[in-house]
Amino acid sequence: MGHDEKRMTLTQWVLASIICILLVFFILSVAIRFKLEDDLILSVAVNQSSFHISNNENATVQLEVTTDRQLWCEATCIVSALQVSTNQTVYNINFTSIDQQVNIFNISMQPVQKGSGQVLYSVAASCRNKQTIFCRSSGVETRKTLLVAVNYDLDIEQSKAKNSARTALESAIADLEQVDLLVSQAEAAIKLMPQLHVDDLQLKIGKLRQEIGARNVFLENLLKLWSDESYVILEQLLSNEEAPPFDDAFILSQELDDLRVLHNSLLSRIQTQQQTIHSIIQSYPTLSHDASPLVETTNSLVQKYTIGNFTTYKELTTLINEQETRIANYLWVLQGRRSAAEQDAGTIIHDLCEYCTLKSVNSTTYTSTSPACDELQELHATLNAALTNGTDTTANATANTTANITNETSIITIQLPPRIHTFNGSTPEINLTIETLNETITAVEEFLSFYCKEYNGTELLTITDQPVVLATPQVNGTIKITIPENHPQCCVFGVCQPCCNTESCKDDASTYPIMLIHGHMVHRWGTPEYSLGGYFSKIQQRLQDDGYLDAGLHTSASQLSDVGPGEWGITGHPISVRVTYYYNFYVVGDVYVRTTQKSESIETYAVRLKEMVDLVKHHTGKEKVILVGYSMGGLVVRRYEQLFGSEDLDRIIVIGTPNNGIVARTSAFCPVLGESTECIDMQKGSVFMQKLNDQKYKPSVPIVTIAGSGCDTSGKDGDGVVQKESVALPFATNYVVNGTCTDFLRTNLHIELLNIDRHPKVYELLRAAITK
């Protein structure tokens, strides 16, 4: 081999060696970079976070997805939109993205069509790198989520229809309630007046009740349309509907009073009949000896009236009329019988007076106000006594000698009873033959037997009923219909409830938002997006499964006007949101300009955190927040509480946070790869740590710490980066999670604490601390 050939071979060997060394260096640098940096940097943004539209409008959100820092990697991605209201995916698309590629997606959100309220959409992008010889990515998925609120309301036509329908419904309900009240009052009055015979009225009330029931069902169906917020359809139905007449209900009270008056009048008539019959029997005790049928029919009327044993008042009125006719006829008979009695009695007395010893020239026919039964009975006794013990006054008889009188022609002088001679004006004595005396006695007996029988028939019943007094009971109707207030509806995970806009919602501690604050970025050349990804995204997904809405990522560059006051809080569900203190912003005109500032002191980061707390409180409308800080983020949270107090805080939870500073290897390597200012603050004994742990200062909110254990951390137990004893605080509730470090540097337990798939106890402790 010649000299030139040897030199050529050496040159080729050198070049090949250089190429190999460069290739090895490149491969090592790629591997180291993949170790130090996130496999995939994913940025997402929407053109609008909040919409205010009518319920029949579409809302279209423009999602911008950018993949970065992939080092010749190609990423497969999925963009999806979850309608939180129904927990259903409404948009889903796969795409491939390369380094620095900006991908735009227009996601249409369908109208609700009715009512007012809020629909939340969780818009998410998730990507993972395809592993190739040049893309040494782990292939772990990176996910970013944003929350979009669609607030909807009635359009102009629906608002007018709602107002019109409400007015018509209120009128229809008022009419029905009034009719129901009138019927209820009538029913109550009937119960208070049980004496009344109200069968016909009950039939009318029953029919009204059926009509009221049918009307009530109709209105209930209309109210379903109201509750369904179908106002236009409801207005049309009401405008075409004719309410049924309820005229009968408005005269029920008068009809009932008319029945009462009729009932009382019939009672009065029966009482009058009783009084008349009683008077007849009392006044004509002998002439009315055959009044039993009349008494029995009157008693029958009393019983029918008292127990209500009649069909209608018309029937009872007919019976009373018939009885009144009977009484009138009987009175006419009595009058005739009285006249006949007076005439017969007068004849007897007149004939008797023909034998008076001294006649009066003024003697007239005998008259009396009674049938003369008492006088004739007395006369009968006198005549019988004369017949038995009389004195013969003939010429052949011996004076003053009492003898048995057997001769028909014997004459007896009789002293008439005073009633007789005072009535007829005759002398008190009469002279009668025995024959005439017997004839007179027979005539008197016939008279007494015909006109002077005592009444011994059915006893007249006494009616004890009293007139019915009009009852005016104070009752409530059986129907009470209220038109429900259709509050704006907020639906979450398939469950709908009125959106919560009251003060009680603000004060509900169970709905305080959770703010997740990242830790120290271990390599200074990276972007804040590295810190914003990671395992916090998985924690948010798990929290959403437990009822905490995933609001994704929020930065201080967001304007207050992007989301209306309290919009994220009206669902009644708490949210979780990731925030960063690495971004700062300023305003140029109406434009918010975001800048990255990640080499500041922890105290500066605490001030920036205040901006984020105010922003989240504005968006949720809540009075307080729950701060969850990881690693250095926990120090930022604690310094925030010292600077601004606990007025905005409910509690603090820190995970893997070096509350007492970092030491040894961690302290040495921190400024090599990361920002030195942060590392200096975190060193044990630093000015910052001295202020943070000033023994005179005690936090006024509960604090929970979670430390990792199982790795050699500069000679002590810890998570490979932070010693366990550095996490615990004397005034906090301190927990420890066991694990191991599996990477080359024996430090990965620190970051793996947030991997809740590998360390589920961390999530259990976090969840318990949030809800305690």
Distances (CA, A) of 184 to 74, 217, 565: 80, 18, 50
Model confidence at 390, in pLDDT bands (50, 70, 90)? low
Decide: 38 and 530 in contact? Cβ < 8 Å.
yes
Q: Work out the percent of the chain whose per-residue pLDDT is above 90.
A: 43
CA–CA separation, 512 and 529 (whole Å): 26
3 state SS of 280: helix
Tell which residue, 74, 120, 116, 76, has the closest CA to residue 99.
74
- What the block records as the tokens of 709 is 């254990």
Q: How many CB atoms lie within 10 A of CB 282?
A: 10
Dihedral angle of Cα 265, 267, 269, 271, to the nearest 10 degrees: -150
pLDDT of residue 719 exceeding 70, the answer is yes
Decide: 63 and 79 in contact? Cβ < 8 Å.
yes
The predicted pLDDT at position 374 comes to 80
pLDDT of residue 347 exceeding 60, the answer is yes
Beta partners for 586?
Answer: 593
The predicted pLDDT at position 23 comes to 58
**Radius of gyration for the alpha carbons in the chain, expressed in angstroms and rounded:** 59
Task: List all residues 6 or more positions away from 586 whose beta carbon is below 8 Å from its beta carbon.
Answer: 592, 593, 595
Query: What is the per-residue DSSP string for 285-345?
Result: TTTTTT-HHHHHHHHHHHHHHHHT-SS-HHHHHHHHHHHHHHHHHHHHHHHHHHHHHHHHH
Of 693 and 672, the structure prediction assigns the larger pLDDT to 693
Of 282 and 562, the structure prediction assigns the larger pLDDT to 282
pLDDT of residue 540 exceeding 50, the answer is yes
Dihedral angle of Cα 762, 765, 768, 770, to the nearest 10 degrees: -70
pTM (whole model) above 0.75: no
The predicted pLDDT at position 553 comes to 80
pLDDT of residue 534 exceeding 70, the answer is no
Decide: 719 and 748 in contact? Cβ < 8 Å.
no
Q: Where are the domains of the chain?
A: 521-772
Of 348 and 322, the structure prediction assigns the larger pLDDT to 322
Name the DSSP class of 663.
Answer: -
CA–CA separation, 748 and 762 (whole Å): 15
pLDDT of residue 432 exceeding 90, the answer is no
Tell which residue, 686, 677, 584, 692, has the closest CA to residue 643.
692
pLDDT of residue 450 exceeding 60, the answer is yes
For domain 521-772, the CATH superfamily is: Alpha/Beta hydrolase fold, catalytic domain (3.40.50.1820)
CA–CA separation, 70 and 549 (whole Å): 30
Upper half-sphere CA count for residue 377 (Cβ side, 13 Å): 12
- In our burial notation (b when 16+ CB lie closer than 10 A, e otherwise), range 47-70 reads eebbbebbbebebebebebbbbbb
pLDDT of residue 205 exceeding 80, the answer is yes
The predicted pLDDT at position 429 comes to 76
Name the DSSP class of 84.
Answer: T
- What the block records as the tokens of 663 is 């030491």
The predicted pLDDT at position 464 comes to 85
Task: List all residues 6 or more positions away from 474 whose beta carbon is below 8 Å from its beta carbon.
Answer: none
User: Taking residues 114-135, what's their average pLDDT?
Assistant: 84
Q: Which segments of 119-241 does DSSP mark as H helices, in order?
A: 156-192, 199-227, 231-240
pLDDT of residue 361 exceeding 50, the answer is no
Model confidence at 35, in pLDDT bands (50, 70, 90)? very low
Decide: 727 and 655 in contact? Cβ < 8 Å.
no
The string of pLDDT tens digits covering residues 496-516 is 889 887 777 778 889 999 999
Tell which residue, 591, 525, 541, has the closest CA to residue 32.
525
203-205-210 Cα angle (round to 5): 95
The string of pLDDT tens digits covering residues 60-106 is 999 998 887 656 678 889 999 999 888 889 999 998 877 777 889 99
CA–CA separation, 105 and 583 (whole Å): 25
Phi, psi of 17 (to 5 degrees): -65, -45
The predicted pLDDT at position 169 comes to 94
pLDDT of residue 137 exceeding 70, the answer is no
CA–CA separation, 376 and 732 (whole Å): 128
Mean residue pLDDT of the chain comes to: 83
The string of pLDDT tens digits covering residues 19-33 is 766 655 545 444 444
CA–CA separation, 344 and 23 (whole Å): 165
- What the block records as the tokens of 590 is 């109406």
Of 389 and 127, the structure prediction assigns the larger pLDDT to 127
- What the block records as the tokens of 680 is 């200096």
- What the block records as the tokens of 667 is 């302290």
CA–CA separation, 543 and 538 (whole Å): 9
Highest averaged pLDDT of the listed ranges 259-273, 351-365, 540-554: 259-273
